[in-house]
């Protein structure tokens, strides 16, 4: 969010700098318990040199500098030190663009974040008096707020699936019984290709790590 254009103080730069705030980002840092005293972001000329890079910088306490979600700074704001402390778009290295993308991605919640926030809201709610809780209930919206979450999934290899189904020849590779029914689409047997070591646990998407299961055995593997 643009705040203002200002003359850089304590610097004899002729060009002005642009000052921004980002309440949403600040909010997210707070929610996740990350300490930051840096609440302003600047887009500015990074040195007195007329050929100087233009970059984005902020206070040293900002989580932008030390959490993995963000790219490392690739430029130096010489007014504030001599180690990389700014993000700039240079030839072959658009760190500033990468930073801005990383920030928008960072602002999306994961399902896990949503769950954590809900758990802490629950303990807060249980600490209220009944009177206070009912007062809150009266004022509450009846339609729940919708939020967009980010999630990661795996792009599976179709060749692994087909190869494992062919290996199984229509029989569950665990209980050895024939598949209970055929797929309408192509009359192949209804077996599900399951990863022995789950992909999320670092398992490989390979024929060796996959097994064709009937729906019963498959359910058993996951929930048994
Ligand atoms: Zn089976
Ligand atoms: Zn499975």
Mean pLDDT of the 112-140 span: 93
Q: Note residues around ion ligand 1 (Cβ under 5 angstroms).
A: 172, 174-175, 214, 217
Domain boundaries, the chain: 2-107, 113-150, 158-223
Considering every ligand atom shown, identify the ligand nearest to the alpha carbon of residue 223 and give its number: 2
Distances in whole angstroms, Cα of residue 186 to Cα of each of 47, 109, 181, 183, 190: 67, 40, 12, 6, 10
pLDDT for 10 equals 57
Mean pLDDT of the 110-125 span: 90
Å from CA of 194 to ligand 2 middle: 4
Cβ-defined contacts of 204-208 (< 8 Å, 24+)? 205/154, 205/156, 205/157, 205/160, 206/160, 207/160, 207/163, 207/164, 207/167
- Judged against a pLDDT cut of 90, whether residue 188 lies above it is answered with no
> Is-contact 189 182, C-beta < 8 A?
yes
pLDDT mean across residues, the chain: 89
Token pair 């993308």 in the structure block, residue: 101
> Is-contact 6 19, C-beta < 8 A?
yes
Å from CA of 185 to ligand 1 middle: 22
> Is-contact 39 27, C-beta < 8 A?
no
The CATH class of the 158-223 domain is: alpha beta
pLDDT digits (tens, 9 = 90+) for 4-36: 777 766 566 567 889 999 999 998 898 888 888
Considering every ligand atom shown, identify the ligand nearest to the alpha carbon of residue 174 and give its number: 1
pLDDT for 7 equals 72
Strand order in the sheet with 54-58: 2-6, 17-20, 41-45, 54-58, 86-90, 93-94
- Judged against a pLDDT cut of 80, whether residue 127 lies above it is answered with yes
Mean pLDDT of the 192-202 span: 91
Å from CA of 220 to ligand 2 middle: 9
Instruction: Assign 100 a pLDDT band (cuts: 50, 70, 90).
Output: very high
The contacts of residue 85 (CB under 8 Å, 6+ apart) are 57, 60, 65, 73, 75, 76, 77
Å from CA of 218 to ligand 2 middle: 6
Angstrom distance (rounded) from CA 21 to CA 50: 27
pLDDT digits (tens, 9 = 90+) for 40-95: 999 998 888 777 889 999 999 999 998 888 999 999 998 888 899 999 999 899 99
Instruction: Assign 200 a pLDDT band (cuts: 50, 70, 90).
Output: confident
- Judged against a pLDDT cut of 70, whether residue 123 lies above it is answered with yes
Å from CA of 165 to ligand 1 middle: 13
Q: Choose between 135 and 180: higher pLDDT.
A: 135
Nearest CA-CA partner of 192 in 201, 205, 179: 179
């Amino acid at each position: 969010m643009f705040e203002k254009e200002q003359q850089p103080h304590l610097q004899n730069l002729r060009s002005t700098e642009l000052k921004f705030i980002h309440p949403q980002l600040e909010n997210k840092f707070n929610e996740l318990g990350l300490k930051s005293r840096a609440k302003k972001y600047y887009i500015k000329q990074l040195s007195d040199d007329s050929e100087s890079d233009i970059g984005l910088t902020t206070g040293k306490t900002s989580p932008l500098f030390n959490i993995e979600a963000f790219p490392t700074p690739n430029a130096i704001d010489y007014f504030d030190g001599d180690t990389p402390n700014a993000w700039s778009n240079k030839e072959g290295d658009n760190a500033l663009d990468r930073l801005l993308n990383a920030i928008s991605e960072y602002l999306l919640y994961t399902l896990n974040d949503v769950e954590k926030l809900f758990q802490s809201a629950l303990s807060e709610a249980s600490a209220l008096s009944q009177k206070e809780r009912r007062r809150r209930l009266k004022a509450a919206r009846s339609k729940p707020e919708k939020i967009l979450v980010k999630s990661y999934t795996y792009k599976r290899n179709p060749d692994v699936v087909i190869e494992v189904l062919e290996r199984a020849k229509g029989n569950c590779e665990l209980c050895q019984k024939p598949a209970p029914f055929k797929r309408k689409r192509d009359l192949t047997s209804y077996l599900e290709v399951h990863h022995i070591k789950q992909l999320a646990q670092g398992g490989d998407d390979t024929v060796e790590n996959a097994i064709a299961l009937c729906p019963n055995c498959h359910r058993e593997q996951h929930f048994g």
